[in-house]
Structure 1
């Protein structure tokens, strides 16, 4: 008899030296119950299932029942966590294998919260329900905001308690990603066993993600610059919608350019570059405005790890690495300016654009204006009748913005139509996320599903969801998010 869920698996990661992973099966849970199944994602992946066998589906997505084609492993890696280097690895996640889609694309299928591994470092290897729902929700939000991201295929309630700041219900999430290769994976390859397997990892990463680089004169440099380009674009997209990852350690930076490892993530409401929500980021290292600088710092860790593969001559390797790394600020600035022009409905380049953009952001910061709503009001041509928005400074800025559009010989309506493609009407507001998670833990999934419906069409304003644009006064002042580990 066939399984209730059908995959088309491959397991190329296990062809790497065993140094990179440990074979280990998920730890069975007591009474798995399937709570969420991402049917749209399943269809894209070519994963089929028998809805009449819902109980068996829960067993599979919990890891209680293994798919025959899998070779379950925990990946080994290292990383800089808040700037300090340490040995890490999948402490509560198990990679089942790679799903080959009907289009021939390859995606990792990983169970998160599936039990202890050799890399658990004293942890329980489990995840709690609210944290896994947060990852499901946030990864779907970024997907529909058209931002590269890992996604969530399923969430299973385990029927077992998880002990964190309080006792919470446990869960297992099925995560889908182009791969789980991280900057930290390369740091691990460079810093352990004398770097003997660094070239193996580089060859694998290029073959899997960037096969067009095989003919490059210097594959390590070409690989690095490809990753740098992807990371610059990703961070610019985060900045576009006010997303704060919250824990940009090098082990959370995927070389495929996807957002990954959703822990204390959140969206900024009032525009303030210093915004931090993560309870463990006490110094603001990963604040909204610091994200491009941290991406650059993380890339410096990657290029450092790649030095032996760049050249056997150390001086030559360092020289080439420094030259590549120095390109990041200009790449990022160009992408950021292009993004901000689109947010303002502009299609041409003007030397004064940076000044125009900075004036608006400066006004928003001074007024504590909502980042998402301000651009929404601008594109709709209608501002609230509040003192903040009835500002002479804003009126003067709007007049200059309209002149800038006119200089392109375009109408305001044309610019606003362009803006609606990049400025969301809806984001997962922090208070709505918390409402949904708290209700779900008590067995009521309706607020969560309602929020999920809202974020699946973020660029379409629907009056019936207008309350999802509102933010309770002072809510963010004491708001904190947590890693869930």
Structure 2
């Protein structure tokens, strides 16, 4: 295993022409210290977790003393925020520290969030607060554990610097990781500033680095767009199946690689409520849970417009038209797995839709219901009025008999896809409250539990109960 100083950097984004961002030195916290490190993410870089105990680790990733080869760089982008185009955003509280190339050829962007002001901070301090940093730190691993494409988080760093938001809060930093942090809004910035040559340069950069099978191919830009449409459709279908609400699906928060990006006011469903709004800033419900597929397609249309100097309108429309069938196919496939079904049948769409109606009427707990459904009677006990559920369950049992399902085998399949543990807002809030008192043990426990959300483990059973009264229907804001 290499040491910290032996990491190999290949900063392809920083070598792009001028105009793609700005070189910025991060600003360390006074008395910076490691609060938590993610062993799984460390190993992705080829590092042993023990490396994080060295003071050099905090210096390198907390902005104090960059490693040789790092080229801290703030990326410029624009975006549609709540449907309104904002022409210049960019990394206002984040920096691309560098791109590590591992021994097996995999590239990881190391992105410091909370490292101080940049030219894109719009008068802000460039910092992040402890509560939002903990939420992103935990949720990246939670989503990875669920098998959903996502950014990862390497570590959580604290220090002695207050941050001023609605109130005075504790500052923190995270270092997140992804193969790329290019967003839909990165393309929009160059399109709307009438720089078609930069749109092409950015597209070639992304294709060469992440869609190499398209490099140099005729019609590659249209095919690239079509693949982004497909990845995004499959991503959002997985969100819907697991009951995840992103909360702020602006185009600058949409990954060009189809990753879950920028964890702000997210929320996993407690009671099943199709119109669940987890972001208290979303007054009109634009980003409500049941609106996410529609918004994803709208965002993809914005991306398609930004790429029109590289492909025809007909090509863009044809690619975008694949969103709905791709989303529907992935979603129905995921729901069949959650129901333990092995065969695809025409009646399955109605079976799923009717189940959601019954669940919504009774406001049953989404995650706990599907985990219990392996034993149908156990799931039925969650309904005060059993009649609607029992009617649905009769159809479900008949469907299982029709494909020759064996109960014990079905239960095993269902427990491998229906999580026992998800990062509910009340769990994150409990960890945040302890951390504010200097106790990060709950952050560490949750990180461990969420890394393997399907396996029942007695030491984490407290995370399977219904939310406490204070933690029901918590909403959070965009403020970080």
Give your verdict on TM over 0.5.
yes
Equivalence for 1:453: 448
1:3 Cα deviation (Å)? 7.8
Equivalence for 1:76: 76
Does the 8 Å CA contact 2:380/2:390 hold for their aligned counterparts?
no
1:124 Cα deviation (Å)? 0.5
Q: Secondary structure at the match of 1:85?
A: strand
Query: 2-side partners of 1:302 and 1:261: how far apart?
Result: 18
> Are 2:376 and 1:378 equivalent residues in the alignment?
no
Query: 1-side partners of 2:48 and 2:417: how far apart?
Result: 33
Distance of aligned partners of 1:51 and 1:226 in 2 relative to their CA distance in 1, 3 Å threshold? closer
Equivalence for 1:159: 160
Query: 2-side partners of 1:484 and 1:4: how far apart?
Result: 33
Structure 1 stretches of at least 4 aligned residues deviating more than 4 Å after TM superposition? 2-6, 48-53, 384-387, 473-478
| Deviation larger for 431-440 or 50-59 | 50-59
Distance of aligned partners of 1:400 and 1:201 in 2 relative to their CA distance in 1, 3 Å threshold? same
Q: Secondary structure at the match of 1:272?
A: coil
Query: 1-side partners of 2:220 and 2:424: how far apart?
Result: 43
- State the TM-score, normalizing by the size of structure 2: 0.95
Distance of aligned partners of 1:421 and 1:89 in 2 relative to their CA distance in 1, 3 Å threshold? same
In the TM superposition, what whole-angstrom CA distance separates every residue of 1:259-304 from its partner, at most 9, and x where no partner exists? 1111111111111111011121111111111111111001001110
Equivalence for 2:436: 441
Equivalence for 1:309: 310
Equivalence for 1:341: 336
1:156-305 correspondence to structure 2 within 5 Å: 156-214=157-215, 216-305=217-306
Equivalence for 1:412: 407
1:40 Cα deviation (Å)? 2.1
1:471 Cα deviation (Å)? 2.4
Distance of aligned partners of 1:303 and 1:117 in 2 relative to their CA distance in 1, 3 Å threshold? same
In the TM superposition, what whole-angstrom CA distance separates every residue of 1:371-419 from its partner, at most 9, and x where no partner exists? 1111111114452685726602212222211211221122122222221
Alpha carbon RMSD of aligned pairs, Å?
Answer: 1.9
1:475 Cα deviation (Å)? 4.4
In the TM superposition, what whole-angstrom CA distance separates every residue of 1:83-130 from its partner, at most 9, and x where no partner exists? 111111000111011111222111101111000000000111001112
Equivalence for 1:42: 42
| Deviation larger for 22-31 or 88-97 | 22-31
1:49 Cα deviation (Å)? 6.9
Equivalence for 2:130: 129
Equivalence for 1:393: 388
Query: 1-side partners of 2:147 and 2:6: how far apart?
Result: 28
Query: 2-side partners of 1:237 and 1:411: how far apart?
Result: 26
> Are 2:345 and 1:350 equivalent residues in the alignment?
yes
The counterpart of 1:482, out of the listed 469, 477, 480, is: 477
Equivalence for 2:29: 29
Distance of aligned partners of 1:322 and 1:174 in 2 relative to their CA distance in 1, 3 Å threshold? same
Gaps of 5+ in 2: none
